[in-house]
Structure 1
Amino acid sequence: MTLKSPTPHTPKIDISLLQTFHLVAKTGSFSAAARELNISYQSAANHVRRLEQLYGTQLVKAEKGSREITLTAPGRAFHASLGPELDTILARISLLMRDVHSVMRFGVPQALFHHFFPEIVRQVRESHPDTELNFFERDTVLASMMVNGELDACVCERFFGDPSISQVLLGEYRLALVYPQQWGVTLSSPEDIAAFNQRDFITYEPGQTVRSRGIDFLSNYLGGPPANLTTVSGSTSVMELVQAGLGYAIVAEWVASAAEDKVKWMPLDDMQTVKVYFASPAFLSQEPVLVHTREICRNVMGFKS
Structure 2
Amino acid sequence: MRLTQLRSFHAVATTGSFTAAAQSLHVSQPTITTQVGQLEELHKVELFHRTGKRVLPTEMGQRLLHLSRQIFSLEAEALQLLRESGELRTGHLRVAAVGPAQVTTMLAAFHQHYPGIKVSVSTGNSQEVLGRLTDYSADVGVLAHVESDRRFVSIPYSDHPVVIFCSTQHRFAKRRVICIEELAGEKLILRETGSTTRKALELALKNAGVETHVVMEVTSREIIREAVAQGLGIAAVSEVEFIPGPGLHAVRLEGAQVRTHVHMVCLSERRDMRMVQAFFDVVGREP
Shorter-chain TM-score category? 0.5 to 0.7
- Residue 209 (1) aligns with residue 196 (2): yes
Tell me the CA shift for residue 157 of structure 1. 1.2
1:3 paired residue number: none
- 1:241 is aligned with what amino acid? A
CA deviation profile, 1:13-71 (whole Å, cap 9, x unmatched): xxxxxxxxxxxxxxxxxxxxxxxxxxxxxxxxxxxxxxxxxxxxxxxxxxxxxxxxxxx
Tell me the CA shift for residue 202 of structure 1. 1.8
> What is the rounded CA distance, in whole Å, between the counterparts of 2:191 and 2:95 in structure 1?
21
1:167 paired residue number: 154
- Residue 273 (1) aligns with residue 259 (2): yes
- 1:215 is aligned with what amino acid? E
Write the mapping of 1:175-254 to structure 2, written as runs, cut at 5 A: 175-185=162-172, 186=175, 188-196=178-186, 199=187, 201-219=188-206, 224=211, 226-254=212-240
- 1:106 is aligned with what amino acid? V
- 1:170 is aligned with what amino acid? Y
SS in 2 for 1:124: helix
Distance change in 2, residues 1:221/1:164 (3 Å): closer
Tell me the CA shift for residue 134 of structure 1. 2.2
CA deviation profile, 1:163-190 (whole Å, cap 9, x unmatched): 2322212132221222223113446311
1:283 paired residue number: 269
Q: Give percent identity, aligned residues only.
A: 13
CA deviation profile, 1:94-134 (whole Å, cap 9, x unmatched): 62796876322211111xx1x35344333433433343322
> What is the rounded CA distance, in whole Å, between the counterparts of 1:284 and 1:173 in structure 2?
28
Q: Is the 8 A contact 1:97 1:287 kept in 2?
A: no
Write the mapping of 1:97-176 to structure 2, written as runs, cut at 5 A: 102-110=91-99, 113=100, 115-140=101-126, 141-176=128-163
Higher strand share: 2
SS in 1 for 2:184: helix
SS in 1 for 2:148: coil
CA deviation profile, 1:120-173 (whole Å, cap 9, x unmatched): 333433433343322121123222332333321111111242223222121322
- 1:143 is aligned with what amino acid? L
Distance change in 2, residues 1:120/1:138 (3 Å): same
Q: Is the 8 A contact 2:204 2:256 kept in 1?
A: no
Q: Is the 8 A contact 1:194 1:221 kept in 2?
A: no
SS in 2 for 1:174: strand
Distance change in 2, residues 1:238/1:93 (3 Å): farther
How many residues are treated as equivalent by the alignment?
206
2:78 paired residue number: 92
Q: Which has the higher contact order (CA 8 A, sep 6+)?
A: 1
Distance change in 2, residues 1:232/1:96 (3 Å): farther
Q: Is the 8 A contact 1:174 1:272 kept in 2?
A: yes
1:66 paired residue number: none
> What is the rounded CA distance, in whole Å, between the counterparts of 1:101 and 1:129 in structure 2?
9
Distance change in 2, residues 1:122/1:275 (3 Å): closer
> What is the rounded CA distance, in whole Å, between the counterparts of 1:193 and 1:157 in structure 2?
24
> What is the rounded CA distance, in whole Å, between the counterparts of 1:250 and 1:297 in structure 2?
27
* TM-score (structure 1 length as normaliser): 0.56
Q: Is the 8 A contact 1:193 1:221 kept in 2?
A: no
Tell me the CA shift for residue 220 of structure 1. 5.3
> What is the rounded CA distance, in whole Å, between the counterparts of 1:116 and 1:292 in structure 2?
18
Tell me the CA shift for residue 92 of structure 1. 2.9
Distance change in 2, residues 1:135/1:205 (3 Å): same
> What is the rounded CA distance, in whole Å, between the counterparts of 1:229 and 1:274 in structure 2?
23
- Residue 259 (1) aligns with residue 244 (2): yes
- 1:238 is aligned with what amino acid? I
RMSD: 3.4
- 1:210 is aligned with what amino acid? T
